[in-house]
Amino acid sequence: MKMKKYIFLNSVLLFILLISYSYSQESYPSVRTFGKIYAGYKFQVTGDPGKNQFEIEKALLGYSINIDNRFSSQIVIEMRQTPVTEGNTERYVLLRNAQIAYKKDKLTITFGLTDGRGHKVSYTYWGKRYLSKPFLLNYKYLNIADVGIIVDYRLSPRLSFDAAVLNGEGHTRMVLDNRLLYAAGATFIPAEGMTIRLYSDIYSRGNSVKNTFAAFAGYRNDKFSIGFEGNFKADYDWTDRHNVYGFSGFAGYMITPKVELFGRYDHVSSVILEGESIPWNIDNDGFHIISGLQYIYSKHMKLSINWQGWFPSGGSGERWDYAHLNAEFRF
């Protein structure tokens, strides 16, 4: 079965490359083939010394085509590494994007399996996905991609809006039901380098309603970047009043044009239910710290040496910390 998967994947990749080459010989339509690889090595600083390993955390290969100045399409294949048991991971390949987009003036409509908009601004400001996902993705407040329709409208150079109707299950699974996720967001740029983002969604099942609220503010220039976000999610596990919340702050300073010193702090919490004395999800509550150096070799490659640690709030949560060597390659 695994051999068939590899044969299928190789066939798809070869097809994409051949099509890309054939179109590259023409001036129209415009075509782009792109990819990313997140690789690294981690060494556990405390605890079991056996938890050290090389990793290919993710690899992406995509193909996009602009048919004309209005219609475009994109396909992205993703290989990801997912924990299955403590200390063990499994790799699998899946479709990340399969979308068609229409753009006219200030309006863009995207349909299909496409990336969500809720995390995009903090994702861009953080800028180090190869080290860790942004808060909303890392703690499963949002799905990175989903099937549905998204409308983006740029009212002015400083203000834009987006709205979406999505399946709600993400891109790794689909369930045939009558539940849909409704989302809306607004992005405001009050000054050069500064961005404010607000986002909310609602996703219901029976008497349970999941709501996500997120707010982000960030600033960056050639030397310095900083971002802060606060997030809340109601009925996190489809259980009434099982609410969670948290915030994330990060900053970076360019020591030289190619070397950046950075740090990040995530605080993850759950509410205390009526009649209880501790948060309902205390086993997964805590704070996550990342600090290190990033070397920007070129626009195609970044390298980082960093430390990451998790400190539980209580319960049965386990503390861990790792020293990392990470690399991002893109084309």
Sequence spans of domains, the chain: 2-330
- As a whole number of angstroms, the distance between CA 96 and CA 113 comes to 7
What residues does 162 pair with on adjacent strands? 152, 185
pLDDT, tens only, 180-227: 999 999 999 999 999 999 999 999 987 789 999 999 999 999 999 999
Mean pLDDT computed over every residue of the chain: 90
Three-state SS string over 278-324 comes to CCCCHHHCEEEEEEEEEEEEECCEEEEEEEEEEEECCCCCCCEEEEE
- As a whole number of angstroms, the distance between CA 173 and CA 171 comes to 6
Q: What CATH number is given for 2-330 in this structure?
A: 2.40.160.10
Residue 229 has pLDDT above 70, yes or no: yes
Residues 217, 170, 287, 202, Cα dihedral to 10° = 60
Distance of CA 223 to the CA centre of its chain: 24
- As a whole number of angstroms, the distance between CA 188 and CA 121 comes to 11
| Structure tokens given for 112 | 């299909």
Q: Which residue has the tokens 């640690």?
A: 309
Q: Which residue has the tokens 């709501």?
A: 211
User: What is the pTM (predicted TM-score) of this model?
Assistant: 0.88
- pLDDT of 184 reads 98
* 289 within 8 A of 311, measured Cβ to Cβ: yes
Residue 34 has pLDDT above 80, yes or no: yes
Residue 6 has pLDDT above 50, yes or no: no
